[in-house]
Amino acid sequence: MNKEPLIGAMRQMITMFDQEAEKFLSFCYFKTFHQKEFLGRQGEVCQDIFFIIKGITRSLIVDTAGEEHTIHFSLENQFICDYTSFMLQTPATNSLQAVEETEVVVLPRKAIEWGYANLQQGDKLGRLIAEYYFIYFDIRLKNQYLFTPAQRYENLSKVFPNIHNRVPQHMIASYLGVSPVHLSRLKKSL
């Protein structure tokens, strides 16, 4: 397998010498998770960031009634973990689960820490990652205010056209914040 996609993603944010990149990568390794396997669990302190080479994961949170809520989907070429847990070293509130067979590059905490301390633009990388996710959350939150579940469903279908072939509908419903039965109803009326 090939770590190029990861290097490419990093080089979109900062400039790195080949030596720096190589050293950084030496802390990282590949791993494959099969369907429904957990990359991380609620309650554990998140110690790794994952970069998805192939596959889909979802972040989910379980409420006091035991219901699962899908908070995010993540696809190829994205970084994913419970960042709040990773940054603060507090127990994660989100679990991270493979929706289909998923290959990732694992970036352990020591890789990240080495990067912040030793990459020439380490802090800038951290800032840009945080800013990227900030913008992502900003958009997500606005969507909650501006759009109905039906509209959010249509938007999602545009951004991620073949989601229906890769993700079970009840997870999509959960992500949209409606019951699976209701999503089925909404689809019919579109």
Task: Write out the residues near DNA by the rule CB under 7 A.
Answer: 148-150, 164, 168-170, 177-188
Work out whether 134 is an interface residue with its own copies (CB under 8 A). Answer: yes
How large is the C-alpha radius of gyration of the chain? 18
Residues between 45 and 64 that touch its own copies (CB under 8 A): 61, 63
Out of its own copies, DNA, none, what residue 134 binds, judged by CB under 5 to 8 A for its kind, is its own copies
Q: In this structure, is the dihedral angle defined by the CA atoms of residues 6, 7, 12 and 13, taken in order, positive or negative? A: positive
Shortest distance in whole angstroms from residue 1 CB to its own copies? 30
Query: How many of the other CB atoms lie within 10 Å of CB of 162?
Result: 8
- What are the φ/ψ torsions at residue 45 (nearest 5 degrees)? -80, 125
Out of its own copies, DNA, none, what residue 168 binds, judged by CB under 5 to 8 A for its kind, is DNA
Out of DNA, its own copies, none, what residue 1 binds, judged by CB under 5 to 8 A for its kind, is none
Cβ(68)–Cβ(108) under 8 Å?
no
Work out whether 145 is an interface residue with its own copies (CB under 8 A). Answer: yes
Q: Measured between alpha carbons, how far is 64 from 61 in angstroms, rounded to an integer? A: 10
Give strand ranges (E) for the chain. 29-33, 38-40, 48-54, 57-62, 68-74, 79-80, 95-98, 102-108
Work out whether 141 is an interface residue with its own copies (CB under 8 A). Answer: yes
- Could you give the 3-state DSSP secondary structure of residue 26? coil
From candidates 177, 181, 184, 185, binder to its own copies by CB under 8 A: 177
Shortest distance in whole angstroms from residue 62 CB to its own copies? 9
The amino acid occupying position 118 is N
Work out whether 66 is an interface residue with its own copies (CB under 8 A). Answer: no
Residues near its own copies (CB under 8 A): 61, 63, 69, 71, 83-84, 87-88, 93, 123-124, 126-127, 130-131, 133-135, 137-142, 144-146, 177
